[in-house]
Amino acid sequence: MLTPSAVANAKPQAKPCKLRDERGLYLLVQPTGARLFRMDYRRPGTGKRNTLALGVFPDVSLKQARERRDTARKLLADGIDPASKRQAERSADAESFEAIAREWHGKHSAKWTESYATNLLRRLEVNVFPYIGNRPIAGLLAPDILAVLRRIEARGVIETAHRVHQYIALVFRYAVATGRATADPTPALRGAIPTANKVHFASIKEPAKVGQLLRDLDAYAGHPVTRAALQLAPLVFTRPGELRHAEWQEIDLDKAEWRIPAHKMKMKAPHIVPLSTHVVAILRELEPLTGRGQYVFPSLHSSRRCMSENTVNVALRRMGYDGQTMTGHGFRSMASTLLNEQGWNRDAIERQLAHAERDAVRAAYNYAEHLPERRRMMQAWSDYLDGLRIGADVVPIRKGA
């Protein structure tokens, strides 16, 4: 019979040797020095000899090995093969919803932005995995998914519930495609969660208030890189993330053009931003400060990272614009509203905003659509804002002006 000291002091031999305990348990000492707890038994039904691994010393103590042996013997008394049961459990773990969701996430995250990939996985970890993560995906039914979504709905975050529904559907589609599930139960849940009230980003659209906002941006007394980002935000129509990730290599000041690669865009299609003379002037002034690095707007803490996603909104708060008045994303809504009121081609406006294109292939090939008109529109928009900035009684710009 083994003792803890005998296990700890077991010496390797030229060949593997067994130090026996009792009731089938023994310590297998390998020539390499590895000490392995094993148990010999006969399979129920067939009577064939088999060996069950119970752990490696010192990760597993003699006491723990004996407990595992006793658990295995109880299974054998009930006619259950402990090795087969363990294999079945491992197979179930490998095909659990969480395992497959993480596999799906790992295969697709490279084509997403880092923040999107992180937020998506975090939503699953918080809202889904604790409830159905360890269950085999093939056994999950629509009511199981609905129970998960109802928990989210009960917290009052309806938009999150709909997003999680979409993520679960994508995981199921992946499971079906890879042979781990036979059907996707999520389509049956359409309409089960109430529609979320669409929340629009706060934005200033009254011309006089826009003029005051522009004067406040010019007077911003913080870091000059942040000030430049604030001044450019109303002029380029990009999403805040696209602006802060801008790189100097994407910008041609001589051609007055910023070409954003597809992987940085929400819709994964390349995008052209014509630069007005106002934008070019701001960038030329900024170039001596950040032009030697990668990012146009680097982090204040490291030039190897771009500006924080909160920088613009925090700066707006410091100037007195709270989240219900103006946001970094609100500059897009400002431009869209006023340009549409002033008669510009709606398609040109939508293309410049890089809004969703129903046909992904068309989006990839038509990123330069309406480009001459967009160039005129972007310059006219900058001229219009210049007039508002000085408080002039500006005559609205017109299509084709």
Q: Is 247 helix (H, G, I), strand (E, B) or coil?
A: strand
Type of residue at 72 = A
Distance CA 161, CA 146 (A): 10
Q: At what angle do helices 330-341 and 371-389 cross, to 10 degrees?
A: 100
Type of residue at 367 = Y
- Give the CA distances from residue 37 to residues 14, 20, 68, in Å, rounded to whole numbers and listed in that order: 19, 10, 10
Clarify whether 332 is annotated catalytic: yes
**CB of 258 closer than 8 Å to CB of 236:** yes
Can you tell me which residue has the tokens 């103590």?
61
Catalytic residue among 332, 351, 374, 389, which?
332
Clarify whether 223 is annotated catalytic: no
Catalytic residue among 150, 346, 365, 398, which?
365
Catalytic residue among 173, 223, 317, 329, which?
329
Residue 363: how many CA atoms within 13 Å on its side-chain side? 20
Catalytic residue among 266, 268, 370, 399, which?
266
Clarify whether 165 is annotated catalytic: no
Catalytic residue among 263, 304, 355, 398, which?
355
Clarify whether 116 is annotated catalytic: no
Q: Where are the beta strands (DSSP E) in 7-68?
A: 17-20, 25-29, 35-42, 49-57
Clarify whether 239 is annotated catalytic: yes
Catalytic residue among 73, 223, 239, 259, which?
239
Tell me, rounded to whole angstroms, the distance of Cα 78 from its chain centroid: 47
Q: Are strands 271-274 and 257-260 parallel, antiparallel or unpaired?
A: antiparallel
Distance CA 377, CA 247 (A): 24
Q: Which residues are catalytic?
A: 239, 266, 329, 332, 355, 365
